[in-house]
Structure 1
Amino acid sequence: MVENLLVELFVEELPPKALKKLGDSFAETLSANLRAQGLATDDAKVTAYASPRRLAVHISDVAARAADKMVSVKLTPVTVGLDAEGKATPALQKRLAALGADASAVASLKRAMDGKAEALFHDSLVKGASLQEGLQAALTEAIAKLPIPKVMTYQLANGWDSVHFVRPAHGLVALHGSAIVPVSILGLTASNTTQGHRFEASVDPIVVKDADSYADQLKNDGAVIASFIERRAEIARQLDAAAGKLNLQAVQDDALLDEVTALVERPNVLVGTFEQAFLEVPQECLILTMKSNQKYFPLLDSQGKLTNQFLIVSNINPADASAVIGGNERVVRPRLADAKFFFDQDRKKTLESRLPNLDKVVYHNKLGSQGERTQRVAAIAASIAQPLGGDTLAAQARQAALLAKADLLTDMVGEFPELQGIMGGYYARHDGLGETIADAIEDHYKPRFAGDSLPRNQVGLCVALADKLETLVGMFGIGNVPTGDKDPFALRRHALGVVRMLSEANVALSLATLITLAAASFSTLDAGADTKLIDFIYDRLSGALREAGYSPQEIDAVLALRPQLLGDISSRLSAVRYFSALAEAPALAAANKRVGNILKKVEGEVNAVVDTALLQEVAEQALHQALAETKPKADQLFEAGDYTASLQALAVLKAPVDAFFDHVMVNADDPALKANRLALLSQLHKAMNRVADLSKLAA
């Protein structure tokens, strides 16, 4: 009999930040296990439910019993299992006994090749698991594999036994159609009853009629939207509607929306207000305290400026919501007052006056204090800025870098570490340092994540590069290299930040130069650390380019040359893509690969100059002539940065290159001829591989 299945575990309030993962894991593991046992089909529809007090899953078309199946078990090689008379050896008898068979089964054993030897196989019909057996196993596995952030231990009702789980569990529902499946877990036995909303359920307990009526009964009788996805969409809809009525917009925050979805069972969005005076505090502080401490959604005007109104996602829906709104307004007021107090107190001291205390903050036991790190970042920032903008930019970069970490010692950042840099910018403006320095301090952590904006000005760019390079060089210099998934100092993110700034801001400094400038600020570094770091950065660059849609061949062709100006890479990739579409490209790529292989085998140095008097064959004379005509034009275009045209100019070499390999013997018996032809190929190779290593495009 095939029916739909519903399983619900009713628990005390689950950790909100983990709820979605818990719900998805419970549904996926349980359904996968049932599929593996043959109780659910591969195309069975699986619907996950997760609310603050329940994890549940609905699976369509689940069988009451899995189909019987034939199982073939390898026993032993024939030579091991049978003696000279064809009778079972002790080894075979032992294997048969383990399967519940005896020597009488020898005649029915199947012979088949297993690799190079013939083996004996025992075929038997295995009875399919019942739903009770299968669901019990699936439920046990689903509970065991839950990504529980922290396990609790609690006693069962009998007072003796203890259970380990994320939160105390109080109910288990398991329905196959309308029939209860008698499974048990966590000291609970399955039934068909559950509970709805703590305060607003119209029916308690709820007797679930069948698997398909579960969600509707919870919504209608229990005042609970069981589906995480549906509840999240309803909250988003109410937030937009409430903000729209005020001609405002709610702060967009997916993580906050997920967390609030995990806190309520039936959402009800309300509007609260706070005193206008609090708006004197930087809006980032107010937004953060409302979001992180109170789970409110701040409201912004059309210019993105914070207003004194906010949205509350309540879990109750009273006829008169004034008490709920008033309570939330009373709760948020002290939080905002704290933020105002921190802001006022912090401004009593300048950023510069805080610098000596950075020497008391440990950065890393092998790399010194934050004060020492600040001095290194300032030196690196100035050395980056000098070739880019002279003394003025260097002085500004040094000043901004020296002050960039001072806000770590402020009360506001101590309370809200997420505001580091941002508060430094506000305090720099208060200290009269001007917008350029203030923006640079605020932006020096950028880009902080994928898609984040870059620093707004050159000073900020220099400081941000210096900050990330100091971390990368320092950590690699003491052997602190990311391994596997472990990257406690976010070095991968720092490397991607460097790549983005060099590429998108088109910084006219090579990667090797930047690393050398950064390394100069350290007294000692591990040998070879700079090479490892360069490899690491190019690996991150390669991954970023793949995500941007470039093919592995295109990326390999360009990065094989290790271009030092990362701002050029996009143009090089575009040129390679255009070149690859030319009719001449496959032949030239193959020829380039052949030339490279020939040159690799040469012992000693290849002549740099071709002796035209030694060009005996017509084909080599033609290639030399074509190269003499083409190379200057291609080089001129390359130097002008027109990489596409530079590669396109090389297309005319196809015919003379093909003719050369068809009619000329490179490894001539005459050493002088051979050396001259290798010199010609060397010039060809250099001419063809200025933009990219074209051999990487060969099939």
Structure 2
Amino acid sequence: MSDLIIELGCEELPAASVEPMAQHLGAVLKAALQASDLCAGEPEIFATPRRIAARFTQVGERQPDTEVERRGPAKAAAFKDDKPTKALEGFMRSAGVTLEQLATIETPKGEWVVARQTQPGKSLTEVLLETLPEAIKTMPMPRRMRWGASPQEFLRPVVWLLAMHGESVLPLEVLGLKAGNQTLGHRFHAPDAITLASPSNYESALETAYVMADSVKRRARIVEQVKSVAATIGGTPVMDDELVDEVNALVEWPVALAGRFEANFLEIPKEALIQTMQENQRYFALLDDQGALMPAFITIANLESNDPETVVDGNERVIRPRFADTMFFWSQDKKQPLAAHQPQLSRLMFQEKLGSVADKVLRMEKLGGWLASELLMEAADVKLAVTLCKCDLNTEIVKELPKMQGICGRYYATRDGHPASVCEAMEQHYFPNKAGGPLPEGVVSQLVSLADKTDTLAGIFGLGMKPTGAKDPFGLRRASLGIVRILVEQKLDLDLNEILQQALDNYGERLQAPDREAMLAYVIERMRGYLVDKGYAADAIDAVLAKGLTRPLDIVARLEAMQQFRSSDAAASLAAASKRIGNILKKVETAVPDEVNKALLHEPAEAALYAEVDRVKPVITQHMQGRDYQASMRETASLRETVDAFFDGVMVMDENVELRDNRLALLRQVNELCCSTAELSLLQPAEVETATASSGQS
């Protein structure tokens, strides 16, 4: 058993492809080695812009031989007059055996002829000759290219192939390259070939050649260096994970260097400067103790320069013209107030059949005003925020840096002296702009965000453009989840059904017979997933949603009550009783009376149940009107003993029609009370029992 390493050396790979390609190589090799019983361990993955590699420990040189038993014809059909039949002769030819090498086995269907053979295992080389081309063929890459006169295809030209098992070179050939025991170091610091003694010294050999092949260790070094350099100049680096990952995939030998730029550029919104540094130059911006942007940055060089000042100077000269362009756009935009951009919104298309952005803003203004009235709040700031929230789309800086939309609006609105809540809404009405992202904080921002997302959802969905599979060009999934999160987490007691109807009404004749029910069901389904992610039991969610509720805040309140109820001793019994009552009532073909006739309550158990129902009904009704669902469920739980006693002592489907109908009426009232908060019959018995048992243990 020896170590194995496979390395593909390339011209510089795109940063986004480095890690996925290396992980794919390791995964495919691991699957093949495990399936061949050559290795059971996990691979070590190495990835740099110029190489992807996987190393395995304790890899066998050859598969173990296996005993194969091949079944032939039944013994009765294999011989005739003690001589082989044609069926047996055909089997011997196909198996490559003689008559003397055959045996028989007993089965439930009689004796059968078998050939037992030893199948030699494949060598490691044979396994890799089959696996490596397949790994390369299926490797994730955006496109493939050819180089030179070779017919081979890969993301970038492949320069070398390293394949070693222990101290031996494996005789492999892929992409027109024969495997060897040599790799290459850093392109500038150590360009000569490096001969490896064994796979175990792969990392150390490369490190002496200025290559950190382990991407995890290299990433850690980048983070450490950036923080260290930042500390020397009194700053805190802006270290987005995506930026760190990208920089990590661009270098083999990271060296952090600090540069500076003119302080007058700090007049520009810091978000624009940070975006320019990150996306255009892959620089790390620096913040001071107050969170303000410093006129400095950190770049990661891919070499240790003898003259680092020259490297820094080059980076400073590159960033200045970019900042100068941004400064020009900022200066141009300052020449007029944000509201001056409103007329141009009619030239920006929202959607061909739904009109311009200006049309969208008018609809949002109506919806925002209605939302404010539903919350009994003044609508003026909401309407003002709506009229301004898309204006920055026409500014020069947003045209140049699209991710600045909303952020620039906040700066411009603040400059123009608008109320703080309106300025905040310019940016935050786009929130949440990613999964789990922050929500709009103020109520004005929340209502503008709801108006924006609901208008988009209603319009696009109303055109029949429901998301399919992975395609969701207008972000309807994100919009739906955003609506739910804002209503629930910011505790806005609004009705989804009414919000959607208002949004649809605002479109007028632009939408022909939109399916509001399907739209509502789509949002409710997104809410169901959200609630599952929040830790609520799936059956409890279904039990509450079965009530046809459309106020998310109310739905969550009922779920909280259900969580408490199902931990009680009564939960399992009443859930079973509700299901039983539902099944009984489904089978009844005649009308069930609305009221219970006390004179027909002959059995003590039914009289007791009626008395208990009569006692708790007004209490539960009062709790439901006050949305005190936990108190309502506690009262519901008090019915357990009388319900159990009723089913133990009363024949519901009595031959006497009057008695039977009266008991059915009583049971219907019981079920209505039990299911005031949620449809208890949908609770799964196993989960209810588990919750009850857990409660008892605690």
| Corresponding position of 1:452 | 437
1:347 is displaced (CA, Å) by: 2.6
Deviation string for 1:221-247 (max 9, x for gaps)?
x10000111100110111122222333
The change in CA–CA distance for 1:293 and 1:591 in structure 2 (over 3 A counts) is same
| Corresponding position of 2:358 | 371
| Corresponding position of 1:207 | 195
Deviation string for 1:130-186 (max 9, x for gaps)?
11111122211221121102212222xxx3x32211100000000101110110111
Give the match's secondary structure for 1:57.
Answer: strand
**AA partner of residue 301 (structure 1):** D
Instruction: Check whether the contact 1:355–1:403 (CA below 8 A) recurs between aligned residues.
Output: yes
For residues 178 and 573 of structure 2, what CA distance do their matches in structure 1 show? 72
1:663 is aligned to 2:652: no
For structure 1, which segment, 568-577 or 326-335, has the greater mean C-alpha deviation from structure 2 after superposition? 568-577
For residues 357 and 82 of structure 1, what CA distance do their matches in structure 2 show? 90
For structure 1, which segment, 44-53 or 413-422, has the greater mean C-alpha deviation from structure 2 after superposition? 413-422
**AA partner of residue 63 (structure 2):** A
Deviation string for 1:536-589 (max 9, x for gaps)?
222222222222222223322323324322123333223222211211221111
Q: Give the one of 50, 66, 69 matched to 2:47.
A: 50
TM alignment of 1:53-202, pairs within 5 A: 53-71=50-68, 100-101=95-96, 108=103, 124-155=117-148, 159=149, 161-201=150-190
Deviation string for 1:506-526 (max 9, x for gaps)?
212111111111111222546
The change in CA–CA distance for 1:650 and 1:14 in structure 2 (over 3 A counts) is same
**AA partner of residue 218 (structure 2):** R
1:485 is displaced (CA, Å) by: 2.6
Instruction: Check whether the contact 2:455–2:503 (CA below 8 A) recurs between aligned residues.
Output: yes
Deviation string for 1:19-66 (max 9, x for gaps)?
11111111111121121122212xx13100000100001101111111
| Corresponding position of 2:318 | 331
For residues 599 and 549 of structure 1, what CA distance do their matches in structure 2 show? 33
For residues 451 and 87 of structure 2, what CA distance do their matches in structure 1 show? 70
1:229 is aligned to 2:216: yes
1:549 is aligned to 2:535: yes
**AA partner of residue 174 (structure 1):** A
**AA partner of residue 315 (structure 1):** N
Deviation string for 1:622-667 (max 9, x for gaps)?
1111111123223333333332222122222111101111122222
1:504 is aligned to 2:489: yes
1:593 is aligned to 2:579: yes
Give the match's secondary structure for 1:521.
Answer: helix
1:315 is displaced (CA, Å) by: 0.9
For residues 409 and 74 of structure 1, what CA distance do their matches in structure 2 show? 78
**AA partner of residue 19 (structure 2):** K
Instruction: Check whether the contact 1:507–1:565 (CA below 8 A) recurs between aligned residues.
Output: no
For residues 140 and 676 of structure 1, what CA distance do their matches in structure 2 show? 77
Instruction: Check whether the contact 1:242–1:269 (CA below 8 A) recurs between aligned residues.
Output: yes
| Corresponding position of 1:637 | 623
| Corresponding position of 2:225 | 238
1:399 is displaced (CA, Å) by: 2.9
| Corresponding position of 1:616 | 602
Give the match's secondary structure for 2:594.
Answer: coil
Instruction: Check whether the contact 1:83–1:89 (CA below 8 A) recurs between aligned residues.
Output: yes
TM alignment of 1:530-541, pairs within 5 A: 530-541=516-527
1:125 is displaced (CA, Å) by: 3.1
1:414 is displaced (CA, Å) by: 1.7
For residues 622 and 143 of structure 2, what CA distance do their matches in structure 1 show? 64
For residues 134 and 447 of structure 1, what CA distance do their matches in structure 2 show? 49
The change in CA–CA distance for 1:235 and 1:88 in structure 2 (over 3 A counts) is farther
Instruction: Check whether the contact 1:507–1:567 (CA below 8 A) recurs between aligned residues.
Output: yes
1:305 is aligned to 2:292: yes
For residues 554 and 372 of structure 1, what CA distance do their matches in structure 2 show? 42
For structure 1, which segment, 463-472 or 54-63, has the greater mean C-alpha deviation from structure 2 after superposition? 463-472
For residues 526 and 69 of structure 1, what CA distance do their matches in structure 2 show? 69
1:275 is aligned to 2:272: no
**AA partner of residue 388 (structure 2):** L
1:317 is aligned to 2:304: yes
For residues 147 and 82 of structure 1, what CA distance do their matches in structure 2 show? 53
For residues 51 and 105 of structure 2, what CA distance do their matches in structure 1 show? 51
Deviation string for 1:474-513 (max 9, x for gaps)?
2221221222333222221111101101101221211111
| Corresponding position of 2:613 | 627
For residues 328 and 472 of structure 1, what CA distance do their matches in structure 2 show? 45
TM alignment of 1:569-608, pairs within 5 A: 569-603=555-589, 606-608=592-594
| Corresponding position of 2:695 | none
**AA partner of residue 453 (structure 1):** P
Instruction: Check whether the contact 1:193–1:208 (CA below 8 A) recurs between aligned residues.
Output: yes
1:34 is aligned to 2:33: yes
TM alignment of 1:284-303, pairs within 5 A: 284-303=271-290
Instruction: Check whether the contact 1:112–1:120 (CA below 8 A) recurs between aligned residues.
Output: no
| Corresponding position of 1:428 | 413
Instruction: Check whether the contact 1:93–1:103 (CA below 8 A) recurs between aligned residues.
Output: no
Instruction: Check whether the contact 1:249–1:301 (CA below 8 A) recurs between aligned residues.
Output: yes
For residues 627 and 523 of structure 2, what CA distance do their matches in structure 1 show? 24
1:605 is displaced (CA, Å) by: 5.1
TM superposition score normalised by structure 1? 0.92
Q: Give the one of 206, 216, 219 matched to 1:218.
A: 206
For residues 113 and 499 of structure 2, what CA distance do their matches in structure 1 show? 67
For structure 1, which segment, 620-629 or 688-697, has the greater mean C-alpha deviation from structure 2 after superposition? 688-697
For residues 525 and 367 of structure 1, what CA distance do their matches in structure 2 show? 8
The change in CA–CA distance for 1:430 and 1:621 in structure 2 (over 3 A counts) is same
Instruction: Check whether the contact 1:110–1:123 (CA below 8 A) recurs between aligned residues.
Output: no
* Percent identity over paired residues: 39
Q: Give the one of 228, 240, 252 matched to 2:239.
A: 252
Instruction: Check whether the contact 2:75–2:113 (CA below 8 A) recurs between aligned residues.
Output: no
For residues 90 and 423 of structure 2, what CA distance do their matches in structure 1 show? 81
CA RMSD of aligned residues (A): 2.7
**AA partner of residue 4 (structure 1):** D
The change in CA–CA distance for 1:238 and 1:622 in structure 2 (over 3 A counts) is same
1:281 is displaced (CA, Å) by: 0.6
**AA partner of residue 657 (structure 2):** P
TM superposition score normalised by structure 2? 0.92
For residues 230 and 402 of structure 1, what CA distance do their matches in structure 2 show? 50
The change in CA–CA distance for 1:194 and 1:568 in structure 2 (over 3 A counts) is same
Q: Which runs of 5+ in 1 are unaligned?
A: none
For residues 107 and 51 of structure 2, what CA distance do their matches in structure 1 show? 52
Deviation string for 1:62-101 (max 9, x for gaps)?
111111223456789x69987999999988877876x554
1:108 is displaced (CA, Å) by: 4.2
1:608 is displaced (CA, Å) by: 2.8
For residues 345 and 489 of structure 1, what CA distance do their matches in structure 2 show? 31
For residues 566 and 257 of structure 2, what CA distance do their matches in structure 1 show? 59
Instruction: Check whether the contact 2:30–2:42 (CA below 8 A) recurs between aligned residues.
Output: no
1:387 is aligned to 2:374: yes
Give the match's secondary structure for 2:524.
Answer: helix
**AA partner of residue 679 (structure 1):** A
Give the match's secondary structure for 1:313.
Answer: strand
Instruction: Check whether the contact 1:196–1:204 (CA below 8 A) recurs between aligned residues.
Output: yes
Corresponding residue pairs, total: 684
For residues 86 and 544 of structure 1, what CA distance do their matches in structure 2 show? 74
